[in-house]
Amino acid sequence: MACELMFRDDAYLQSCDARVSAVSERGIELDRTVFYPMGGGQPGDMGWLRRADGVTVRVIDARKGAEPDTVVHVPEAGAPALAVGDAVTATLDWERRYAHMRIHTCLHVLSCVVVAPVTGGNITADKGRLDFDIDMSLLDAARIEREVNALIERAVDTETVWITDAELEAQPELVKTMSVQPPRGAGRVRLLKIPGIDLQPCGGTHVRNIAEIGRVKVLKIRSEGKRNKRVEIGFA
C-alpha cells in the first residue's frame, strides 16, 4: 500500500497524523509520513510515533519499503508494539533533519563549483562530502570554499521541478552522479532547481533558500583512489 510522502511537497513539515498500515520485522509502515527514508546519500530520519493514549515509539531510522513509495519506520529495541490501524502522530527529530537539508543543499552548490562527474557522496548532520572523478591537482580548498560561500550568499530560492522520463533521457547532462541513477519507470522524475546555479535529479530534502545553508568550510580534500577525489565540507 503506497504511502503519502509528505516531505516531497513540503520538506518543512515536522509532524503529521497517520495510521499504521503494516507492521513487520523491519518496522512500521504508515499511510502517510514526514519521515524521509535513507537514500541518495541522505540518512533516514529519526523521531517518534505517538498514540493518543501516550504510547510512544522512538524511531531510530527510516528505510524504503519493499513496494514503491513506502517507508519503514525502524523502532528502537524494546519499543512498545503498534498494531495495524493505530492512529499516531509522526514527529521528526527536526534539528537533525534540518541539518541534513542544509548540508544536502550545500552539496548541490559544491557540485557546481567542482565541475566533474560525481562518483559518490554522503551526508551527516554537521558535514557532507562528494567524491569526484577529477585530477587531484585541480582541487584547491581555498578556491572551493570561497566560491561555494559566494554562491550561497546569492540567497536564491530553490524550486522543485518534475520532468518526464523521456525528457530526462533527452538531457543526460542533467545527471551528474556516476554511481547512482535517478529512478525511472514512474513516468516522471523530480529535480532540484537552484536558478542560475544548479538543476539535477534529486529526491532528497532541501532548504527553501540557499542562504539557510549558512557559511561553510572545506574540512578536507583527499584521494580515495584513481577515480575518487573526496571533498568534505561542513558548517563554519
Domain ranges of the chain: 4-92, 97-235
36's CB contacts (< 8 A; 6+ apart) are 7, 42, 44, 45, 62, 97, 100, 204, 205
pLDDT of residue 179: 67
Joined grid coordinates for residue 62: 527510516
Inform me whether the pLDDT recorded for 83 exceeds 90.
Answer: yes
Q: Is 230 helix (H, G, I), strand (E, B) or coil?
A: strand
pLDDT of residue 169: 86
| Under 8 Å between Cβ of 80 and 86 | no
Q: How confident is the model at residue 92 (pLDDT cuts 50, 70, 90)?
A: very high
Fold classification of 4-92 is Elongation Factor Tu (Ef-tu); domain 3 (2.40.30)
Question: Distance between CA atoms of 100 and 123, rounded to whole angstroms?
Answer: 7
Burial of 115 (0-12, 13-18, 19+ CB in 10 A): exposed
The CATH superfamily label for domain 97-235 reads Threonyl-trna Synthetase; Chain A, domain 2 (3.30.980.10)
Q: How confident is the model at residue 34 (pLDDT cuts 50, 70, 90)?
A: very high
172's CB contacts (< 8 A; 6+ apart) are none
Share of the chain above pLDDT 90, in %: 83
Q: Which residue has the higher pLDDT, 41 or 219?
A: 219
Judge whether 4-92 and 97-235 match in fold: no
pLDDT digits (tens, 9 = 90+) for 178-229: 766 666 666 889 999 999 999 999 999 999 999 999 999 999 999 998 889 9
pLDDT of residue 226: 87
pLDDT of residue 1: 74
pLDDT of residue 177: 83
Inform me whether the pLDDT recorded for 57 exceeds 90.
Answer: yes
